[in-house]
Structure 1
């Protein structure tokens, strides 16, 4: 896929993976629009990268999504929709009755899964009208094997994983020119994982792999430990589960 001259929308583009993706897409000659919920962070990103268009928008909010679509349509549209925004709830023990279970699951599903479907539906016809359009959905290493302390987050990413696979197949059946990519990161060094001692990959290296995969039309982009875990899980799900959840016997 050619990136130069393309316009890409990156949700959750004010920090971490999204901000790094902004930097690297710009470096590859793309035009970038970012969204985020925090206006101060949007302003800071805009100051860092003046060429960026920054729009305040909540990935979980239906009216925000419609407003975002209207604004982007006025700007001339996009070629690539990068569904990067994601949230994770505090560690949960599902074996202990707690109202936090449903609250966390609702929050994660609304952002990590339903928010993606909503934006894809809104932008689908726009992307189909482009000579070469694309959707990028970020799932997770936990869409392969669940984490015992992030059960509902894992479930939201599994849902997105299967949705992404079937969306790609449906568009292929329709002979659409919209390509559907899935990015499966391992643990990434961001604010979301700051309190964890796991082995982490930098946002810079993750996005380098993403850009390379896009250019090669590699629809499933497993990065770092996600590559190894994929094969281990195929041979022995029990070993894979143990690797993901080692040192997590206490919830």
Structure 2
């Protein structure tokens, strides 16, 4: 996948992995449009990086998705849709069998899964019309083995992983040239993971790994420790499960 000259839409691009991707894609000669819910963050990005186009849009909101599509169409369209936006309900606010549990699960599923399908459906015809186009869906190592303290988040990413595989194969069957990538990152140092003391990689390192895989058309992009974890999970699934769920996390489930 050649990124130079491409127009790329990145959801959740005002901070973390999304912003880092916007910077690195731009450095490679791509035109970048980012979205986010927080207008102040978007304004800050625009001030620091005037070459990035910023559009306020909530990845879990249907009306916002339609408005975003119309805005992007007016800007000339895109070649790559990078579904990066995601939400994680903090374990401290999410117990089993209570109202917060189902509300949190619905929120995560709406943004992390339904929102991705919604945008893909809106932009697919546009992408099909391009000479070289792609969709990048961000899943997680938690789509391979679940986290006990992030069970519904893990479930939303598992749903997205299966959908991504199905979408890729469906497009092959109908003869579409749109490339479908699944990005499987390890734990990345972002605002979302600030409360975790586990081993993390930087957003810069994560994006470099993604770009390397994109350049080689590796449709399943396993970055950093995600490669090793995949092997462990394949041959030693119980060990992989225990790696994601150390005993120190069990206390969170009891509280």
TM-score w.r.t. length of structure 1 = 0.98
Give the SS at the match of 2:251.
coil
Tell me the equivalent position of 1:194.
Answer: 194
Name the CA distance, whole Å, in 2 between partners of 1:123 and 1:48: 28
Cα shift at 1:225: 1.6
1:10 aligns with 2:4: no
Q: How does 1:43-192 map to 2 (within 5 A)?
A: 43-91=43-91, 96-192=96-192
Q: Deviations over 1:23-74 (max 9, x none)?
A: 0000110000000001110011111211111100000000000000001101
Distance 1:40 1:250, change over 3 A: same
Query: How many angstroms apart in 1 are the aligned matches of 2:239 and 2:169?
Result: 31
SS of 1:77's partner is: coil
- Secondary structure, in 3 states, of the residue corresponding to 2:250? coil
Number of residues of Structure 1 aligned to a counterpart in Structure 2: 251
Contact 2:6–2:79 (CA under 8 A) maintained in structure 1: yes
Question: 2-side partners of 1:61 and 1:207: how far apart?
Answer: 26
Partner of 1:24: 24
Report what 1:245 is aligned to: 245
Q: Deviations over 1:117-157 (max 9, x none)?
A: 00000000000000001000000111111101000000000
TM-score (norm 2): 0.96
2:215 corresponding residue in structure 1: 215
- 1:97 to partner: Cα distance: 2.6
Over 3 Å off, 4+ runs:
92-96
Once residues 22 and 46 of structure 2 are traced to their aligned partners in structure 1, the CA distance between those partners, rounded to angstroms, is 10
